Structure 1
Amino acid sequence: MNAYIFPGQGAQFTGMGLDLYENSPLAQELFEQANKILGFNITDIMFEGTPEALKETKVTQPAIFLHSVILAKTLGESFKPDMVAGHSLGEFSALVANGALNFEAGLKLVSQRALAMQKACELQPSTMAAVLGLDDAIVEKVCAATEGIVVAANYNCPGQLVISGEVDAINRACEAMKVAGAKRALVLPVGGAFHSPLMEPAREELAAAIQNTTFSKPNCPIYQNVTANAVIDENVIKANLISQLTAPVRWTQSVQQMIADGATLFTEVGPGNVLQGLVKKIDREAQTASATL
């Protein structure tokens, strides 16, 4: 069975999507439509902008979404997913790819999500850190024992977990992780504590937007970050999408469940190949590929 997977924030690069724009009339049409929906020329930043300009949250999230979704749409008849999943932001790309959301609705939600997250980040100094070489259970235990808000946020693959929370709490937790035997515990250059309770203001804002958006029955199941299980019910998809901002990304568990349900090939749709690397670390036997025009 074919599983299509969609990357999240951090996969952006200058020049992303330019090959699609130049080689596909459909892609060109969709990129121009996106410029109108967003109210600014995101294509200028994607194709020619500096890495700093691309790092702006209001740009990064729509840019990665557009690269992934437009690539999926240019694949035409060859794009036949049996299941889909996306890492954090990538979940929105996956929902457009499997027909649960249309292009315009998906882009508007991603743009609103980016702005809401940016606002939440400005309310309180917060950050994230990568913890390498520790069992998930030990990371969770250290987080629970650390003073302040700090939680497990991204279960990326065995031995690689990202924690999220208040700056001081993250620093304390990183030291405790090293004492507990972590190979590395390093603070990441991110704008805030994504997938933690500190994103509650963004969750509330996004909840209203999601409730007011029409979702359709998807063409195939999506394995959502919050539950790591196959979902096809639109109302459940909406509820999970709202919970996602303050809940952890269960990527390890999602990939394991997809394999258990029959996934034999994981094709990454969008910029970079980070997810393929994670899939290989979760299951060395899994077959991976990059989608190409």
Structure 2
Amino acid sequence: MKAYLFPGQGSQFLGMGKNLYKNSHLAKKLFQLSDEVLGFRITSVMFEGSINTLKNTKYTQLAIYIYSVIKAKILDNFEPDMVAGHSLGEFSALAAISVFSFEDGLKLVNQRASIMQNICETTHGGMAVVFGLKDSIIEEVCKKDHGIIVPSNYNCPEQLVISGEISALKRVCFFLKKIGAKRIFTLPVHGAFHSPIMEPARKKFKKIIKKISFKDSKYPIYQNVTALPVIKSYDIKRNLVEQLTYPVKWKQSIKNMMKDGAVSFTEIGPGNILQGLIKKITKNSS
């Protein structure tokens, strides 16, 4: 069984999409449609913008969504048995399998990114990747801290992202190093994504998503919040909203896909970040 995976933030690169625009009529049409729907030239940011501009959440999420969905749409043999997306990548996956239209997905991602950016600007949050410790140890250390700090991305064995207030993040990272973390890498983001700090964003996004029409999925999508296969539109909607404050259960999703018969994983989007995670997950499961 074939699984298709869609990446989230962090996979962007300078000039992304330029070759697709030049070489595919359908891609060109969808890039132009993106500019029209958004009311500004996202293509300019993607094709000619600086890397610093592209790193801005409100542009990054749009660029990755557009690029990933277009890549899926121009594939000759896009026939998945199951799909999954890492954080933002869930929106790309859902547009690719026509749970909602490309345009509606674009509107959702645009508003989601804008809401998240606003939270980032009014709070002091951050994220860090912790290598070399068991999940249970990191979970316990986060739980014992008196600030807001939680596991936010279960990426692969012995690689867990934590997210929360900067002060709590510093305390927890310091302690995790003392008890044996092999490496801790602070992510270049200005927000505590997938944490309780995003609760105001979750409330706003819940109102926005109600206005968008969703269809039941033809293929199971393994969503971040539960790591389980979902088909019904109302479940998909609910999970997309909850995703803002819940951890991304990526490792668990991939293991469940394998258990349900996935033998090949194809990443659709910029870069190959997810392929690296898949190798570590499958190695650990064999």
With the length of structure 1 as denominator, give the TM-score of the two structures.
0.96
Superposition map of 1:185-224 within 5 A: 185-224=184-223
Q: Deviations over 1:173-211 (max 9, x none)?
A: 001111221111232210100000000111111111111
Gaps of 5+ in 1: 287-293
Give, as a single letter, the amino acid of the residue that structure 1 aligns with 2:46. M
Give the corresponding residue for 1:169: 168
Give the corresponding residue for 1:289: none
Gaps of 5+ in 2: none
Report if the CA contact (8 A) 1:174-1:186 is conserved.
no
Q: Partners in 2 of 1:264 and 1:59 — Cα distance?
A: 34
Give the corresponding residue for 1:100: 99
Q: Secondary structure at the match of 2:4?
A: strand
Taking only aligned residues, the RMSD between alpha carbons, in angstroms, comes to 1.1
Superposition map of 1:178-189 within 5 A: 178-189=177-188
Give the corresponding residue for 1:21: 21
Give, as a single letter, the amino acid of the residue that structure 1 aligns with 2:219. C
Q: Per-residue deviation at 1:285?
A: 8.9
Q: Secondary structure at the match of 1:283?
A: helix
Give the corresponding residue for 1:290: none
Give the corresponding residue for 1:291: none
Q: Partners in 1 of 2:210 and 2:103 — Cα distance?
A: 16
Q: Secondary structure at the match of 2:255?
A: helix
Report if the CA contact (8 A) 2:157-2:284 is conserved.
no
Superposition map of 1:142-291 within 5 A: 142-284=141-283
Q: Secondary structure at the match of 2:138?
A: helix
Q: Deviations over 1:127-184 (max 9, x none)?
A: 0011000000001001001120000000000010000000000000001111221111
Give the corresponding residue for 2:8: 8
Q: Secondary structure at the match of 1:267?
A: strand
Give, as a single letter, the amino acid of the residue that structure 2 aligns with 1:214. S
Give, as a single letter, the amino acid of the residue that structure 1 aligns with 2:29. E
Q: Partners in 2 of 1:28 and 1:40 — Cα distance?
A: 16
Q: Per-residue deviation at 1:217?
A: 1.5
Q: Partners in 2 of 1:186 and 1:168 — Cα distance?
A: 16
Q: Secondary structure at the match of 1:14?
A: coil
Q: Partners in 2 of 1:187 and 1:96 — Cα distance?
A: 31
Q: Secondary structure at the match of 1:245?
A: coil
Superposition map of 1:53-132 within 5 A: 53-76=53-76, 78-132=77-131
Q: Partners in 2 of 1:165 and 1:83 — Cα distance?
A: 32
With the length of structure 2 as denominator, give the TM-score of the two structures.
0.98
Q: Partners in 1 of 2:220 and 2:119 — Cα distance?
A: 31
